[in-house]
C-alpha cells in the first residue's frame, strides 16, 4: 500500500485481513464466449475462439435472468441447464479448453463441478454467503463477479469469505455498477456503469487478480473494445468478454455481444 493511502487511514475503516504480499494463482486472463450455451453450435464457437487464442471459454448453462420467463425458447429456460452442461462437457473433450460457467446454488456445486474448470459466481449471488462458504471448501478456481451495488469493503469481504474456507485460487471480476442515467435516453440497453477506478483501488489492498468484464459493464457492443483497453491500462489482469457468431441473435445479452473480428482485434490487435 503506498504511503499516501496509508496516511489517509482509510484502511482502518476497511476490515481487511487479506494478505497483500501473497501471490494468488490465476492462469485465465483471456476468457470469452457467448453469454449462454444456446445449443450444439457452442462446439464450433469454442473451436473458433480457441483459434483466436483464448485461455478459457465462458458460457452459462444456468442463467439467472431478470425476468425468468421472458426469453423461454426451445428448451432454453434461464439457460439450457443440464443439457447445457452436457454440451460444455463435449466442448471440453473436443477442444481441451477450460470452461468458466456459473453455479447459482450450493446444491449444484458437484454437478456443475463435473464440467466447470472455473466456478463463476454471478453478480446476483455475490453475497450469497452459503454459496461462497461452500465454494471456499472446493479447490477449483473461482471467478467472483462483483455485485452491482458492492463497496470495496464488500468486495474484499466476499473474497475473504472464500479464502478462509481454504480456496485461494480466486479472481475478482468487475462487471459494472448501478447507475448510468445520463446515457439511458440514447442507449436504452445500458444498465450498468463501468467502474474502472475500482481496479487500482483494489490493488492498493490485495494481489487477488482482477478480471474485467467490458460486456456487462457497458451493455453496448461499440463500447466493449475501448473499455477493454481502458481496463487493461488501469491494471486489470485479464478480460472476460461476451462473443457470439451472430451477436444480435444471442438469446441473452444480445446488445453487448461482439463478433469474432472485434474479439480478435481486442485480443490480438
Ligand atoms: C454473465 O456473465 O453472463 C452474467 C450473468 O453476469 P453477471 O452475473 O455479472 O450479471
Ligand atoms: Mn451475459
> Cα 8–14–15 angle (5° rounding)?
145
Confidence (pTM): 0.95
Is the separation of the CB atoms in 217 and 8 below 8 Å?
no
**Ligand 1 centroid distance, CA of 151 (Å):** 18
> pLDDT tens string for the chain (269 positions)?
677 766 766 666 677 789 888 999 999 999 999 999 999 999 999 999 999 999 999 999 999 988 888 788 888 999 999 999 999 999 999 999 999 999 999 999 999 999 999 999 999 999 999 999 999 999 999 999 999 999 999 999 999 999 999 999 999 999 999 987 788 889 888 889 999 999 999 999 999 999 999 999 999 999 999 999 999 999 999 999 999 999 999 999 999 999 999 999 999 98
Sequence-distant (≥ 6) Cβ neighbours of residue 236 within 8 angstroms: 174, 199, 210, 211, 212
Residue 253, CA distances (Å) to 34, 98, 116, 191 in order: 9, 22, 21, 11
> Beta-carbon neighbour count of residue 118 at 10 Å?
24
Nearest ligand by distance to the CA of 255: 2
Closest approach atom of ligand 1 to CA 120: 2
Closest ligand to residue 63's CA: 1
Three cell numbers at 187?
442507449
Distance from Cα 175 to the centre of ligand 1, integer Å:
8
**Counting ligands in written order, which one lies closest to the CA of residue 256?**
2
Q: Residue 241 pairs with which residues in a beta bridge?
A: 32
Q: pLDDT tens-digit profile of 189-228?
A: 888 999 999 999 999 999 999 999 999 999 999 999 999 9
Alpha helices in 114-189 (DSSP H): 129-136, 152-164
Query: Could you tell me which of 88, 36, 89, 91 has the C-alpha nearest to residue 63?
Result: 36
How many Å apart are CA 178 and CA 193, to the nearest integer? 6
Distance of alpha carbon 74 from alpha carbon 108, whole angstroms: 23
Q: Which residues form ligand 1's pocket by a CB distance below 6 Å?
A: 35, 60, 122-123, 145, 175, 216
CA 63 to ligand 1 centroid distance, Å: 8
Q: How far apart are CA 98 and CA 54, in angstroms?
A: 10
Alpha carbons within 13 A on the beta-carbon side of 185:
1
What number of residues does the chain have?
269
Contact 204, 229 (CB under 8 A): no
User: Which of 28, 121, 122, 150 for a ligand 1 pocket mutation test, highest count of atoms within 8 Å of Cβ?
Assistant: 122
Amino acid at each position: 500500500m503506498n504511503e499516501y493511502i496509508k496516511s489517509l487511514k482509510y484502511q482502518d475503516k476497511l476490515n481487511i485481513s487479506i494478505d497483500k504480499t501473497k501471490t494468488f494463482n490465476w492462469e485465465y486472463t483471456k476468457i470469452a464466449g457467448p453469454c449462454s450455451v444456446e445449443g450444439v453450435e457452442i462446439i464450433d464457437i469454442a473451436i473458433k475462439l480457441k483459434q483466436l487464442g483464448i485461455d478459457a471459454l465462458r458460457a452459462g448453462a444456468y442463467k439467472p435472468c431478470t425476468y425468468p420467463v421472458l426469453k423461454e425458447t426451445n428448451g432454453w429456460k434461464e439457460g439450457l441447464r443440464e443439457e447445457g452442461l452436457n454440451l460444455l462437457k463435449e466442448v471440453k473433450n473436443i477442444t481441451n479448453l477450460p470452461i468458466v460457467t456459473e453455479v447459482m446454488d450450493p446444491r449444484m456445486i458437484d454437478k456443475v463441478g463435473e464440467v466447470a474448470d472455473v466456478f463463476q459466481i454471478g453478480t446476483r449471488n455475490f453475497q450469497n454467503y452459503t454459496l461462497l462458504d461452500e465454494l471456499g471448501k472446493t479447490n477449483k478456481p473461482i471467478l467472483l463477479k462483483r455485485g452491482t451495488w458492492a463497496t470495496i469493503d464488500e468486495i474484499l469481504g466476499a473474497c475473504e469469505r472464500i479464502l478462509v474456507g481454504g480456496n485461494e485460487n480466486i479472481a475478482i471480476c468487475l462487471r459494472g455498477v448501478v447507475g448510468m442515467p445520463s446515457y439511458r435516453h440514447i442507449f436504452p440497453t445500458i444498465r450498468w456503469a463501468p467502474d474502472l477506478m475500482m481496479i487500482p483501488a483494489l490493488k492498493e489492498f490485495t494481489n487477488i487478480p482482477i478480471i474485467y468484464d467490458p460486456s456487462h459493464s457497458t451493455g453496448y457492443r461499440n463500447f466493449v473494445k475501448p473499455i477493454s483497453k481502458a481496463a487493461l491500462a488501469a491494471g486489470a489482469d485479464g478480460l472476460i468478454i461476451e462473443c457470439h457468431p451472430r451477436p444480435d441473435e444471442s438469446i441473452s445479452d444480445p446488445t453487448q455481444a461482439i463478433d469474432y473480428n472485434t474479439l480478435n482485434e481486442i485480443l490480438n490487435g
